[in-house]
């Protein structure tokens, strides 16, 4: 059967089973043929070509490796051509049979037939291992001096490959660079550039010698610029854009950190010429202009050239072609630090890209919009971003709320504007706020000393909540404010009764996730208690009491406990309550560093030196405080005093009973670090353990520099024990952020607790980790 009929039989198979059968049958036939010691090369060719088809189909081909080597050892060109082709595809540098190839390669590279030598060269370039590199470098070196340009260009690239495999070979090939650069053939020059870059990257001691050649590279660049039309290399009006790109990127590599090199001045001139010479109306020119812009920003170039570079990128942004806009935004993100003002000038174009059809362009435009934000444009850009938020993809919303809150903290023109922006954000994307940012917002409200403004804010929050009550962050912030600032808003417009109704509405929303609903409840509890000290009508107080009592049978233990404790305070005389439930002292607002949205692989300088680096763990993670928060509060110098006084008040009433003295403090926790890799860490926090029950918290923290998404945590315990798992608070974590889930284990008292955890997440690619963790104590 010929190759053609084999391909046909596979293609004509009606079912997958029939296809498999055809493949298996032919595969068996090929094996049988290869076992024949008298197989002639014509049949061997047919069988190897079928073997290659098997390779494309993804079938095993290892049994034919030696046959390929037999075929290429034949003296006939047709045999060699297929033999080498198959060897390149089926073998790589890790195969043991490669050692059998050395002799054939050695002989063929010495062949007087340049095409046979070419085949051997290309094969070496594809499969070279460090051993082959050492065995055959002399052949490659000889071919670099071959009279045939066809072989010299191949040999140069193969030499580059060998240098990558064995850096010691750099000094062998270094003297070969100069003569290659003198040639006119673009193929040979391209090869020489590849070789130069390989040597430069592998051997530091050769770098100065390589740099001597820079004027030659500039000469090639000058010729390209001056070339009008070259029929051989023309790609839609641009003379060999590939050589342009290779020359520029080589120059960039050599001159990146060499600020005083004498070649910089002529290069600056040439770059300006490239910009004016290359007609950007044609697509091909863009690849050259793009490389030129990157070169401008990598080497020490004139400021005017940098502005020119940014203008080129902004011209890219107005193009219809998605690819051009994509690279322009990417590059602008990388260069904004060099010429921020020049980028600012193209604000409208950048903002326009927020409406692009391509989500990756929208993402980059979004990041760039935040990058160009400053005191002067914060109002107009915020307006654009709020409009964008209305129609944006859900996955971008948390990024926008976070970044915009950070930016507003930094650049706000006045507090009222800031508050208005926050309310708009909460209304539009209240379900896409991270915990840290909610805490930040609350801290900000508490810091404001202008009570009129606070009144305006709280009234706005309350009225927004009527229409947007299912926005979680809005509900949370409003609940908090209702408790804290009821006294300043109560009046004609807002009655205590309406506030109680509002809290009830929040509590009845069923669309919140479980963890969110619990948080609303804890906030509501405090609001109820505080409201009881601000409301005057007995009916209203009675409603609050009933609401509080309803929590005393909540299925969540913590809420239940807190409700009972609060009921105690609720029962105290009004005067004591008033003193107890005074307004919270303002905590400091934490500054967060902006997070990058797009992972660009290359590191870039931090956007702003003025903002403090983000520290992990937020002061206000949970305003109602577990003990960790409490401790940090005490540690923070500013609010320490008022905090203490509140505590004193509490201790006066409740005497010495420890559990009542600090009702907000749960028992001492044990933290067990269970796992950590470069992206995430997982800790198990033992909250309560004993009498056959263990209440644990799993805490995932993002240790890396990029956002980790799709986090899922699965747990298992031994068969004798039962496990209850609450969903993770947030399955996407910004760098430094944490998220928790509840783990409850019940079983035989006194038994050991062992948890097996399967942690899956996406940090660029999907990762799955499994680990076991045993608690140091028993149930």
Partner 1 sequence: MSIHFLIALNRQGKLRISKWYTSVPDKQKKQTMLKVHRLISSRDHQKQSNFVNFENQKLVYRRYNGLFFVMAVDVQDNELSYLEMVHLMVEVLDSYFNNVCELDIIFNFYKVYQVLDEMFLSGEFQETSKQVVLDRLHYLDNLE
Is the CB of 160 or the CB of 270 nearer to partner 1? Answer: 160
The Cα 757–Cα 741 span in angstroms is 12
Inter-CA distances, 310 with 296, 701, 713, Å: 10, 39, 45
In the complex, minimum distance from the CB of residue 596 to partner 1, in angstroms, rounded to a whole number: 13
Is the CB of 24 or the CB of 600 nearer to partner 1? Answer: 600
Task: Quote the tokens at residue 285.
Answer: 């020119």
What 3-state DSSP class applies to 682? strand
Is the CB of 154 or the CB of 469 nearer to partner 1? Answer: 154
Name the segment binding partner 1 (CB under 8 A); options: 187-195, 261-269, 705-713, 738-746.
Answer: 187-195
Cross-strand partners of 741: 698
Is the CB of 186 or the CB of 521 nearer to partner 1? Answer: 186
Determine, following the binding rule CB under 8 A, whether residue 170 of this chain makes contact with partner 1: no
The Cα 163–Cα 203 span in angstroms is 9
Determine, following the binding rule CB under 8 A, whether residue 257 of this chain makes contact with partner 1: no
Residues in region 686-745 near partner 1 by CB under 8 A: none
Among 173, 200, 254, 290, binds partner 1 (CB under 8 A): 290
The Cα 694–Cα 686 span in angstroms is 7
When computed from its CA atoms, the radius of gyration of the chain, rounded to whole angstroms, is 35
The Cα 398–Cα 568 span in angstroms is 39
Is the CB of 11 or the CB of 641 nearer to partner 1? Answer: 11
Is the CB of 190 or the CB of 461 nearer to partner 1? Answer: 190
Is the CB of 11 or the CB of 719 nearer to partner 1? Answer: 11
Is the CB of 536 or the CB of 602 nearer to partner 1? Answer: 602
Query: Which secondary structure element, helix H or strand E, spans residue 569, and what is its range?
Result: helix 557-570
Among 187, 237, 663, 692, binds partner 1 (CB under 8 A): 187
Determine, following the binding rule CB under 8 A, whether residue 240 of this chain makes contact with partner 1: yes
Determine, following the binding rule CB under 8 A, whether residue 137 of this chain makes contact with partner 1: no
Among 108, 166, 203, 291, binds partner 1 (CB under 8 A): 291
The Cα 649–Cα 668 span in angstroms is 23
Is the CB of 82 or the CB of 405 nearer to partner 1? Answer: 82
Among 39, 88, 142, 767, binds partner 1 (CB under 8 A): 88
Our CA angle for 423, 424, 429, nearest 5°, is 105
Is the CB of 566 or the CB of 761 nearer to partner 1? Answer: 761
In the complex, minimum distance from the CB of residue 290 to partner 1, in angstroms, rounded to a whole number: 5
Determine, following the binding rule CB under 8 A, whether residue 115 of this chain makes contact with partner 1: yes
Determine, following the binding rule CB under 8 A, whether residue 92 of this chain makes contact with partner 1: yes
Determine, following the binding rule CB under 8 A, whether residue 111 of this chain makes contact with partner 1: no
Is the CB of 360 or the CB of 691 nearer to partner 1? Answer: 360
DSSP codes joined into one string, 197-213: HHHHHH-GGGHHHHHTT
Among 64, 83, 241, 483, binds partner 1 (CB under 8 A): 241
Task: Tell me the H-state helices in 259-321.
Answer: 264-277, 283-298, 303-317
Among 169, 245, 336, 404, binds partner 1 (CB under 8 A): 245
Name the segment binding partner 1 (CB under 8 A); options: 167-175, 352-360, 549-557, 718-726.
Answer: 352-360
In the complex, minimum distance from the CB of residue 26 to partner 1, in angstroms, rounded to a whole number: 16
Determine, following the binding rule CB under 8 A, whether residue 220 of this chain makes contact with partner 1: no
Determine, following the binding rule CB under 8 A, whether residue 579 of this chain makes contact with partner 1: no
Among 294, 402, 519, 522, binds partner 1 (CB under 8 A): 294
Is the CB of 14 or the CB of 719 nearer to partner 1? Answer: 14
Among 128, 264, 423, 475, binds partner 1 (CB under 8 A): 128
* 8 Å CB contact between 512 and 520: yes
Is the CB of 233 or the CB of 417 nearer to partner 1? Answer: 233
* 8 Å CB contact between 706 and 675: no
The Cα 401–Cα 389 span in angstroms is 9
Name the segment binding partner 1 (CB under 8 A); options: 75-83, 465-473, 478-486, 740-748.
Answer: 75-83
Determine, following the binding rule CB under 8 A, whether residue 161 of this chain makes contact with partner 1: yes
The Cα 190–Cα 247 span in angstroms is 8
Name the segment binding partner 1 (CB under 8 A); options: 57-65, 102-110, 529-537, 546-554.
Answer: 57-65
**CB atoms inside a 10 Å sphere around CB 225:** 15
In the complex, minimum distance from the CB of residue 166 to partner 1, in angstroms, rounded to a whole number: 14
In the complex, minimum distance from the CB of residue 375 to partner 1, in angstroms, rounded to a whole number: 33
Determine, following the binding rule CB under 8 A, whether residue 41 of this chain makes contact with partner 1: no
Name the segment binding partner 1 (CB under 8 A); options: 172-180, 263-271, 354-362, 514-522.
Answer: 354-362
In the complex, minimum distance from the CB of residue 398 to partner 1, in angstroms, rounded to a whole number: 20
Residues in region 751-770 near partner 1 by CB under 8 A: 764-765
Residues in region 616-655 near partner 1 by CB under 8 A: none
Measured between its terminal Cα atoms, the distance across the chain in Å is: 72
Determine, following the binding rule CB under 8 A, whether residue 85 of this chain makes contact with partner 1: yes
- Residue 668 is classified by DSSP as P
What 3-state DSSP class applies to 680? strand
φ and ψ at residue 639, rounded to 5 degrees: -85, 5
The Cα 742–Cα 719 span in angstroms is 19
In the complex, minimum distance from the CB of residue 103 to partner 1, in angstroms, rounded to a whole number: 21
Count of residues interacting with partner 1 (CB under 8 A): 72
Axis crossing angle, helix 415-429 with helix 451-467, rounded to the nearest 10? 20
Our CA angle for 24, 28, 29, nearest 5°, is 120
Residues in region 299-328 near partner 1 by CB under 8 A: 322-327
Cross-strand partners of 682: 675, 700
**CB atoms inside a 10 Å sphere around CB 466:** 10
Determine, following the binding rule CB under 8 A, whether residue 81 of this chain makes contact with partner 1: yes
Pairing of strands 680-690, 693-702: antiparallel
Query: Which secondary structure element, helix H or strand E, spans residue 81, and what is its range?
Result: helix 77-90
In the complex, minimum distance from the CB of residue 531 to partner 1, in angstroms, rounded to a whole number: 51
What 3-state DSSP class applies to 537? coil
DSSP codes joined into one string, 209-259: HHHTTHHHHHHHHHHHHH----TTTEETTEE-HHHHHHHHHHHHHHHTT-T
Task: Quote the tokens at residue 59.
Answer: 């079938």
Residues in region 430-489 near partner 1 by CB under 8 A: none
Among 9, 107, 126, 498, binds partner 1 (CB under 8 A): 126
Maximal C-alpha separation, the chain: 109
Determine, following the binding rule CB under 8 A, whether residue 538 of this chain makes contact with partner 1: no
Determine, following the binding rule CB under 8 A, whether residue 18 of this chain makes contact with partner 1: no
Residues 6+ apart with CB under 8 A from 108: 72, 80, 116, 117, 119, 120
Among 23, 30, 33, 52, binds partner 1 (CB under 8 A): 52
């Amino acid at each position: 059967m010929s190759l053609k009929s084999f391909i046909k039989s596979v293609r004509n198979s009606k079912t997958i089973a029939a296809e498999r059968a055809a493949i298996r049958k032919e595969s068996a036939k090929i094996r049988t043929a290869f076992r024949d010691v008298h197989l002639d090369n014509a049949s061997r060719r047919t069988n190897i070509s079928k073997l290659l088809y098997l390779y494309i189909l993804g079938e095993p081909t290892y049994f034919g490796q030696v046959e390929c080597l037999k075929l290429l050892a034949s003296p006939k060109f047709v045999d060699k051509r297929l033999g080498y082709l198959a060897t390149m595809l089926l073998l790589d540098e890790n195969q043991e049979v490669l050692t059998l190839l050395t002799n054939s390669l050695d002989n063929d590279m010495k062949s007087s037939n340049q095409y046979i030598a070419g085949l051997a060269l290309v094969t070496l370039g594809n499969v070279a291992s460090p051993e082959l590199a050492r065995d055959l470098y002399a052949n490659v070196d000889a071919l670099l001096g071959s009279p045939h340009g066809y072989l010299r260009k191949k040999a140069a690239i193969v030499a580059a490959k060998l240098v990558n495999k064995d850096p010691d070979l750099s000094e062998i090939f270094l003297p070969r660079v100069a003569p290659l650069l003198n040639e006119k053939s673009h193929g040979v020059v391209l090869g020489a550039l590849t070789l130069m870059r390989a040597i430069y990257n592998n051997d530091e001691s050769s770098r100065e010698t390589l740099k001597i050649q820079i004027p030659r590279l500039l000469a090639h660049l000058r010729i390209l610029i001056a070339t009008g039309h070259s029929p051989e290399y023309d790609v839609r009006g641009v003379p060999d854009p590939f050589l342009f790109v290779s020359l520029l990127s080589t120059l960039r590599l050599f001159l990146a950190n060499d600020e005083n090199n004498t070649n910089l001045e002529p290069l600056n001139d040439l770059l300006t010429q490239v910009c004016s010479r290359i007609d950007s109306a044609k697509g091909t020119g863009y690849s050259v202009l793009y490389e030129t812009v990157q070169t401008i920003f990598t080497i020490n170039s004139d400021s005017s050239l940098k502005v020119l570079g940014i203008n080129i990128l902004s011209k890219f942004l107005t193009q219809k072609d998605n690819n051009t806009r994509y690279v322009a935004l990417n590059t602008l993100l990388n260069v904004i630090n060099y010429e921020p003002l020049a980028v600012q000038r193209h604000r409208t174009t950048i903002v326009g890209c927020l409406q692009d059809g391509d989500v990756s362009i929208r993402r980059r435009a979004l990041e760039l919009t935040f990058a160009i934000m400053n005191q002067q444009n914060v109002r107009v850009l915020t307006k654009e971003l709020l409009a964008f938020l209305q129609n944006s993809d859900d996955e971008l919303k948390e990024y926008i709320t976070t970044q915009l809150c950070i930016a507003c903290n930094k650049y706000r023109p006045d507090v009222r504007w800031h508050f208005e922006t926050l309310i708009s954000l909460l209304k539009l994307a209240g379900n896409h706020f991270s915990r840290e940012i909610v805490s930040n917002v609350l801290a900000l409200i508490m810091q404001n000393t202008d009570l009129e403004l606070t009144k305006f804010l709280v009234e706005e929050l309350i009225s927004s909540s009527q229409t947007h009550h299912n926005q979680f962050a809005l509900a949370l912030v409003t609940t908090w404010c209702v408790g804290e600032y009821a006294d300043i808003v109560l009046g004609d417009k807002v009655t205590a009764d309406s506030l109680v109704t509002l809290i009830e509405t929040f509590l009845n929303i069923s669309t919140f996730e479980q963890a969110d609903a619990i948080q609303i409840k804890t906030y509501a509890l405090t609001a109820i208690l505080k409201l009881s000290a601000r409301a005057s009508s007995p009916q209203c107080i009675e409603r609050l009491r009933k609401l509080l009592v309803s929590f005393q049978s909540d299925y969540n233990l913590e809420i239940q406990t807190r409700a009972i404790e609060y009921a105690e305070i609720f029962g105290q005389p009004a005067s004591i309550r008033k003193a107890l439930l005074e307004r919270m002292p303002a905590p400091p607002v934490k500054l967060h560093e902006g997070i990058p949205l797009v992972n660009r692989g290359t590191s870039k300088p931090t956007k702003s030196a003025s903002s403090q680096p983000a520290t992990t763990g937020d002061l206000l993670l949970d305003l109602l405080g577990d003990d960790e928060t409490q401790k940090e509060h005490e540690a923070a110098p500013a609010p320490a005093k008022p905090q203490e006084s509140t505590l004193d008040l509490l201790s006066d009433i409740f005497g010495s009973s420890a559990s009542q003295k600090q009702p907000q403090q749960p028992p001492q926790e044990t933290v067990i670090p269970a796992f950590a890799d470069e992206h995430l860490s997982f800790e198990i926090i033992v909250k309560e353990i004993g009498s056959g029950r263990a209440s644990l918290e799993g805490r995932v923290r993002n240790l890396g520099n990029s956002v980790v998404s799709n986090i899922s945590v699965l747990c298992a315990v031994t068969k004798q024990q039962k496990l209850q798992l609450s969903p993770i608070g947030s399955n996407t974590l910004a760098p430094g952020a944490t998220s928790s889930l509840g783990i409850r284990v019940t079983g035989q008292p006194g038994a050991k607790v062992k948890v097996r955890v399967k942690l899956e997440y996406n940090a660029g690619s999907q990762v799955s980790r499994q680990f076991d963790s045993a608690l140091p104590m028993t149930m």
